[in-house]
Amino acid sequence: MSALLSVENLSVEFSLPEGNLRAPDGVSFTIDSKEFVGIVGESGSGKSVTALAIMGLIPNPPGKIVNGKILFNGRDIVRSKNHPRGREISMVFQNPLNSLNPNLKIGRQLTETLEEHYDLKKNEAHSRVVETMRKLGIPDPETMMNRYPFEYSGGMRQRTMIAMAMLCSPKLLIADEPTTALDVTIQAQILHLFQQLREDSETAVMFITHDLSVVSQIADKVVVMYAGKIAEISPTEQIFSTPFHPYTVGLLNSIPGKKNQKKRTLEAIPGNVPSLIDPPSGCRFHPRCEKRMDICTRKHPPIFNVDGSMVSCWLYQEVGF
């Protein structure tokens, strides 16, 4: 069976006054239908740009897809005129206040989505919106539709954004840090909502976050990105039981408050995330890596298959072949 979404060797280049930078740089991964994929990375790792590239929303200039293919249902959508954005692929952003129009009532913004994509009568659109809002746990949808975004709380706004994204029953939902701006109790509610979505709908989800522990709850597969490159792709259980890439190991070690942690000092990853305008030679993680070898400074490692994981690290060269 071919994948629902297949990103192949994707590179996006930005021309900035300080120089050109590439993030993502040669990234490949796949998402099957109904699969829940977590994309984890720090700021500047290229995770959000990858999402925008899939949506066909890279701001040009300064950005440009310079290499690679994005196949959706087997069709390359990078260069196609008829982009499936909106109806088949939809996206939820981090800050719902930036995504909602402050001057329109919530109800109008939701029915607009349906009227744009389907030939629906007003009352049909209305009842479908009510139904979707109810499914997403928005109490009293009829009244709530008559309110403006500022009258909503943070959690309700994010629910509304998810409702909007799910209205057309997309095949792929991209969520870019949907819980980062929320309080923990509300984050738990939204994560629970995503869990319900994956049980009740046919939608595949690409969930972008910087917090490994968030994806551990819901994802089937985790893609770890670092400085524009893929570090590791593993099934979720495996990434927590046996992480392979030294960066993944470092990330897991630097999570505070783990059970049976005796020492107060954390095992931090030394150094900083590198600038992508002038990235380190060879493997981009080598200046911060404890296990670096000669070859790491010279050549970027390809992806090796290790025990069902895909790891971009020279440590696994022999194991991989």
Partner 1 sequence: MLALSGGRILDMFLEVKGLSKEFPVEFSLLGKPKRFLKALVDVSFSVKRREIFSIVGESGSGKSTIARVICGIYSPSRGQVLFKDSPLNNDRLREIQMVFQDPDASLDPRKKVKFLIEEGLRIHRIGEKLERNTKVREILSSVGLAEEVLHKYPHELSGGQKQRVAIARSIVLEPQLLILDEPTSALDVSVQAQILNLLLELQQKNDLTYIFITHDLKLVTHLSDNVMVMYLGHVMEMGPAADVIENPIHPYTKALLNSVPEPGVKKITEAISGEMPSPIDPPPGCPFVTRCPVAFDKCRSKPELCEVENRVVRCHLYK
**% helix, strand, coil for the chain, step of 5:** 35, 25, 40
217, 281, 297, 317: which one binds partner 1 (CB under 8 A): 217
Binding to partner 1 (CB under 8 A) within 122-161 occurs at 153, 155-156
Strands (E) in the chain, as ranges, are: 5-16, 19-31, 36-40, 63-72, 75-76, 89-92, 172-176, 204-209, 221-226, 229-235, 304-306, 309-311
Rule CB under 8 A: say whether 191 interacts with partner 1: yes
Pairing of strands 221-226, 229-235: antiparallel
Task: Tell me the residue length of the chain.
Answer: 321
Rule CB under 8 A: say whether 236 interacts with partner 1: yes
Rule CB under 8 A: say whether 187 interacts with partner 1: yes
91, 212, 276, 283: which one binds partner 1 (CB under 8 A): 212
176 pairs with which residues across the strands?
A: 208
**Cβ atoms < 10 Å from Cβ of 47:** 25
Q: For residues 52 and 273, which CB has a smaller minimum distance to partner 1 in the complex? A: 273
Q: Which stretch binds partner 1 (CB under 8 A): 11-19, 110-118, 160-168, 233-241?
A: 233-241
CA angle (201 as vertex; 196, 205 as ends), nearest 5: 80
52, 186, 293, 295: which one binds partner 1 (CB under 8 A): 186
Rule CB under 8 A: say whether 183 interacts with partner 1: yes
Q: How far is the CB of 94 from partner 1 (least distance, A)?
A: 14
Q: Which residues bind partner 1 (CB under 8 A)?
A: 42-43, 153, 155-156, 183-189, 191-192, 195, 210-214, 216-218, 236-237, 240-241, 250-258, 261, 264-270, 272-273
